[in-house]
Amino acid sequence: MTLGENIHKLRMAKGMTQKQLADQLFVTSQAVSRWENNEVEPNINVLNKMAEIFDVTVDAIINGPNEQPVEVKEEIKIKENVANCHDCHKAIFDGEAFKKVERFHYEGSGRSRRRVGEIVTLCEDCYQKQIAEDEAKTKKAYEDKLRSLKNRRIWAYCMGALAGIIFLLIFIFGTKNLEFNLALRIVGSIISLYGGFSLVYCLIWETYIQDVFLTIAGFGFVKFPGIIFEFSIDGFIGLIVLKIIFVILGYILAAIAIIFAIIICMVLAIFSFPFYTGKIKAKPEDINI
């Protein structure tokens, strides 16, 4: 009988399953299956432990119980301990699967806090466990990102509706003394309502219109040159008057630029809004953990 057949016979005599034997030997049930199928042979340490479990000698395991000893053709080699698992501290022997992975942690505090990476060794079980944890972490971050996008879209709809009502009221009260026929008032009301809504929606949703608005409005915030004045009462009064004029002029220019930016961006938003109302899309690979 072969070594694998002997192990199988002794295991069955004890009424043990492959998993029960594997648990007592601190190996996997696949390892026991491979021994019994004569694919690999256990090392001498495992044979000694197995002899204790079966209550037989190592010779009985190798040559079979109640049989004459036969010459062992291959020398049983003791496997070398090549590493220890970083997480479970299990010994990893030569020929067993393991992985080297990079992990990051932070050192220091405040401005001196920095991200440091290190290479750690993991056994196959801990490596698979880490993969499962990373996938769960990525999934949660992805779901949180989608939830955040949905909440921001709701906020954009609400604030857009409020802005549309404000623009509509401005149009109604601003043109009540103008001789507009009913058709023009209806069209103007619709454009004001929809334009105000789409403008604020696109600004909150961070579309290209936000960049256009900031660029145009930025032209109104200019820096006025310094003022040279005479060191006297009249000079101080002139300085104060010029400062006030510059402040008022600055506010006027900023208001004009903002109004111009609102008009331009409202026109763009009216046509762009339908393209930003589709299904919210986010990719798991775009999530930074």
pLDDT at 209 over 50: yes
- φ, ψ for residue 206, nearest 5 deg: 60, 55
Q: What is the mean pLDDT of the chain?
A: 81
The pLDDT tens digits for 26-78 are 888 888 888 888 888 888 888 888 888 888 888 887 877 665 444 444 555 56
Q: What is the SS3 assignment for 20-71?
A: HHHHHHCCCHHHHHHHHCCCCCCCHHHHHHHHHHHCCCHHHHHHCCCCCCCC
Quote the pLDDT of residue 198.
93
Q: Structure pTM?
A: 0.51
Cβ neighbours of residue 244 closer than 8 Å, sequence gap 6 or more: none
| Extended beta strands in the chain, E state | 81-84, 91-93, 98-107, 114-123
Per-residue pLDDT for 178 more than 70?
A: yes
Q: Report all structural domains of the chain as residue ranges with CATH numbers, in order of start.
A: 3-63 (1.10.260.40), 81-137 (no CATH), 138-285 (no CATH)
CB 28 within 8 A of CB 40: no
Cα-Cα-Cα-Cα dihedral sign, residues 118, 122, 128, 129: negative
pLDDT value at 159 more than 90: yes
Q: What are phi and psi of 229, to 5 degrees?
A: -135, 160
Tracing tokens 């060794």 back to the chain, one arrives at 121
User: Using one digit for the tens of pLDDT, what is the confidence trace for 184-205?
Assistant: 889 889 999 999 999 999 998 8
Helix (H, G, I), strand (E, B) or coil at 233: helix
Closest CA to 153 of 211, 200, 209: 200
Which pLDDT score is estimated for 133?
Answer: 87
